[in-house]
Amino acid sequence: MNIMLFGAPGAGKGTQAKYIIEKYGIPQISTGDMLRAAVNAGTPMGLEAKACMESGKLVSDDIIVGIIKDRLSMEDCKKGFILDGFPRTLAQAEALEKLMIEMNISLDKVISLNVPDELIVGRVVGRRVCKSCGGSFHVEFNPPKKEGICDFCGQPLVQRKDDNADTVAKRLAEYHAQTAPLFDFYKEKGVMEEIDGTKNIKEITEDIFKILG
Ligand code: AP5
């Protein structure tokens, strides 16, 4: 099963991806997590991406398409995958289509988590993440069982550098200008499923599982 989680920054894509992994055993492919790993490792690609990420801008399509090509060709993607945070531009969506044709695979579902902008800032600013496994928590809406520690892998939780009110506003502007138009792109292909992303986390997981079967 090849699926994509679609939605604004902070809509809950990473949070829901963890539950989909648990149930379906397919890997999450988060371009944000891969870029953060490259930044932390100080690779040339990480150095190039760092400034864009910290200012809330999108990283260049060439970098992103390159890392997705490498990742989708890995063995663990053979039984399916969850795209999280990719594609984010029309050029990325078209590159993904081309790549999937080459690989003789298709996208089964795009799940859009619909959350209005006014709820996004509070979600993002209160987020705490695990640098090790990408687990995502919230100080109020989704606290970990043990304060400051990831429920999934037991590693410490941190606040992302770009999770502040200023950068969120810029990320939302990028989302509306470049990513939101992809909603119609996937709707026309008949794979789009919409979910009310304002519900609580458990209800949303149940809605996703109903769609995925
Ligand atoms: P990325 O890491 O992808 O960030 P994002 O899209 O901005 O998405 P987030 O990770 O912020 O949100 P999410 O939807 O996963 O929310 P989460 O589940 O954590 O990208 C970062 C940067 O990298 C970009 O700005 C860009 O520079 C670059 N980049 C990445 N991919 C790129 C690409 N393809 N092209 C170009 N550049 C790229 O939830 C958020 C919070 O809300 C958490 O605290 C969570 O606990 C809480 N929460 C979740 N669900 C609920 C709920 N139902 N109710 C209440 N709280 C909830």
Ligand 1 close to Cβ of residue 68 (< 6 A) = no
Q: Is residue 7 part of a domain?
A: yes
Instruction: Domain of residue 8: give its range.
Output: 2-116+178-212
Q: Is residue 155 part of a domain?
A: no
- What integer pLDDT is reported at residue 213 of this predicted model? 93
Q: Is residue 159 part of a domain?
A: no
- What integer pLDDT is reported at residue 150 of this predicted model? 96
Place of tokens 């949303």: 204
Ligand 1 close to Cβ of residue 71 (< 6 A) = no
- What integer pLDDT is reported at residue 8 of this predicted model? 98
- What integer pLDDT is reported at residue 133 of this predicted model? 86
Q: Is residue 123 part of a domain?
A: no
Q: Look up the CATH number of the domain holding residue 15.
A: 3.40.50.300
Q: Is residue 160 part of a domain?
A: no
- What integer pLDDT is reported at residue 169 of this predicted model? 95
- What integer pLDDT is reported at residue 209 of this predicted model? 98
- For ligand 1, atom 50, the nearest C-alpha belongs to 12
What's the average pLDDT block by block, 10 residues per block, for the chain (213 residues)?
A: 98 95 96 93 94 95 94 96 98 97 96 97 96 90 96 95 94 97 97 98 98 96
Ligand 1 close to Cβ of residue 137 (< 6 A) = yes
| Residue to substitute in 47, 84, 138 for testing ligand 1 pocket (most ligand atoms within 8 angstroms of CB) | 138
Q: Is residue 103 part of a domain?
A: yes
Pairing of strands 127-130, 157-158: antiparallel
Q: Is residue 10 part of a domain?
A: yes
Please tell me the distance from the alpha carbon of residue 153 to that of residue 151, in angstroms, as a whole number. 6
Domain count along the chain: 1
Q: Is residue 148 part of a domain?
A: no
